[in-house]
Structure 1
Amino acid sequence: MIFIKRTKRLDYTVYPVLSKHQPRESNRSVKGETLMNISVDGNLSENFVAADFFNYIILLESSNPSMKALENWVRNEPGGAKQSHAAEFACSLKGQSTEWKKQEEKTRRAIKQVVKWDITKENPLGAVVLPQADCIVTLYYLELVSKDHNMYINLLKKLLSLLKIGGHLILMALINISYYTVGQHKFAALKCNEEFIQKALTEAGCSILSSETHKRDFKSLLSDYEAITYFVCCKEKAV
């Protein structure tokens, strides 16, 4: 997202979580066959990391233009957003920055589906039936699309209904954001603090394995979030 200052430590929180060589986040291994990812801007960054650990990646996307751009990228067709910088960065974390083209192709092979996630519907997937995931990754999503805290919790529960019992949720969030800007347009966001997110995760049937918060260290008029936080959770029960 253009209004978030990108740093190696924060953008790739998913790397130490998923990496077999850096299991610092939990003594429980985050792995499996199927991973689902949902974001608001069609960013593929975390998928270049996930493709090293999951063979079946499903992208959930609410925006039709973003869906089309993602599908074009996966098929290597015109109209796909350029992702080479993200692939190169992901490879640099492994000390293989020159292998980014191979990582792009590996990620294309791993992404099996791009599916519409329509939050205006009671069932956001509509008639689509998906296999339950071993891991769900969601970055800066719920606080940007939810109108109130009840909607946040409801959407979180719907996402977690797609996750297996014992599966893992990796959630990154913008703390106390009230607005963000894209181009010339300003959008409202839902203010959420860490305590609310912790409570929502517990209410949705998750146990929190680890979390970390980093205070914002720069100023920008593009958004007003105070910090970035992430949670690594295990789904203990269906609710």
Structure 2
Amino acid sequence: MASQLRMGTDYHKQFDPKKYLAMSCSPPAGSEEEKYFRDVHLKELHKVFDSDILSVGQHSLSTSYLTGVIKPRSRLLDVGTGPTIYQLISASRFCTEIVCAEYAEANRAEVQKWINGDPGAYDWTPSFQYVAELEGDSSSWRARQSHLRNIIKEVIPCDVTNPDPLTPNKYEQFDVITSMKCLELACSTRESYSAAVRSTPPGGTLVLISVISESFHTVGEHKFFTLHVDETFIEEVLKTAGYIGINIKMFSALLPKNNEGFWGACSCTC
């Protein structure tokens, strides 16, 4: 019998954040998986938020797929944080406030444990050390870690399938919105994906990372539904939602199994 595909409210009970972290964020030292996680995830996010890019007031740069300018002292909303904070490390240099918005209570609790310095929290030290090296100051990783803990002001519930995804919370417009591998996991149809993009709180710059052409992902013993999306569809959705300066960069997956072996990162302004 085929395994049941989990989705929606199943994330509250069947999604195990510790198993996800062990599977996706804890590759063996020196392995190809570790190199991939660093070179694709951490290094590409570093390029997006690199200070040399931020200091140039251009709408497009050949050295990056970032369009528009993310200014220092920005306010950032991370939609679909999951149990991870690695996606915030590079951005945090330029932020005074970050709000993490996540659907599953267990994932929110995992992030909050890290913020609180709980001994049982996931150890992101290797990620901070690697990003600090990319930034040219390998000794700064402890200060970067402390800074990120201080500027994450809230970890709130979020449902991107809701027309008002942050309800009941209300905020002034954010300067930056990031969303890493969230919408295609939360939305069951392309129509609901499009609606989720349209209902995303307005902000200056959107950085979106999506898995391309995937049908499911596995965490522990459970398979979770993933909406099949592609580069053309994502670009059309963003244009329809009013985003401009859309740049998309594709990456090969390390071990493609249930997809075509790619995931995509894009940035745009609204």
Structure 1 counterpart of 2:121, one-letter code = G
Query: Is it true that 1:103 corresponds to 2:134 in the alignment?
Result: no
Alignment of 1:37-116 (within 5 A): 37-39=78-80, 41-116=82-157
Q: Tell me if structure 1 keeps the 8 A contact 2:248–2:267.
A: yes
Residue 263 of structure 2 is matched in structure 1 by 228
Separation in 2 of the partners of 1:150 and 1:101? 43
Distance 1:85 1:39, change over 3 A: farther
Once the two structures are superposed, what CA deviation does each residue of 1:65-111 show, in whole Å capped at 9, x if it has no partner? 11112122212234433222222222121133333221110101111
Does the alignment pair 1:30 with 2:70?
yes
Determine helix, strand or coil for the equivalent of 1:115: strand
2:214, 2:226 within 8 Å by CA — same for their partners in 1? yes
The alignment yields a C-alpha RMSD, in angstroms, of 2.1
Q: Deviations over 1:32-83 (max 9, x none)?
A: 5201112353210121111101111111111101111212221223443322
CA distance in 2 between counterparts of 1:141 and 1:225 reads: 18
Please tell me whether the aligned partners of residues 14 and 170 of structure 1 are also in contact (alpha carbons under 8 angstroms): no
Could you say which residue in structure 1 is the equivalent of 2:29?
Answer: none
In 2, Cα distance between equivalents of 1:20 and 1:124: 31
Q: Does 1:10 align with 2:40?
A: yes
Structure 1 residues 9, 219: CA separation in 2 closer, same or farther (over 3 Å shift)?
closer
1:28 aligned partner, one-letter code: G
1:60 match: secondary structure: strand
Q: Could you tell me how far 1:122 is from its partner in structure 2?
A: 3.9
Q: Does 1:219 align with 2:258?
A: no
Question: Whose RCO is larger (CA < 8 A, sep 6+)?
Answer: 2
CA deviations over 1:176-234 (Å, ceiling 9, x no partner) = 01111111111121000100000000111101342211223x3354x435212111101
CA distance in 2, matches of 1:204, 1:120: 16
Query: Which residue pairs with 1:182 in the alignment?
Result: 219
How many residue pairs get aligned? The number is: 229
State the secondary structure of the residue aligned to 1:211: strand
The gaps in structure 1 that reach 5 residues or longer are none
2:242 to 197, 205, 215: 205
Counterpart in 1 of 2:51?
A: 20
State the distance in 2 between where 1:192 and 1:154 align.
14
Task: Compute the TM-score of the two structures, normalised by the length of structure 1.
Answer: 0.87
The verdict on how the C-alpha distance between 1:115 and 1:47 changes in structure 2, with shifts beyond 3 A counting, is same
Q: Which range is displaced more, 128-137 or 88-97?
A: 88-97
More helix by share: 2
Gaps of at least 5 residues in structure 2 are 1-19, 26-32, 55-62
Partner of 1:42, secondary structure, is coil
Query: Per-residue deviation at 1:7?
Result: 3.3
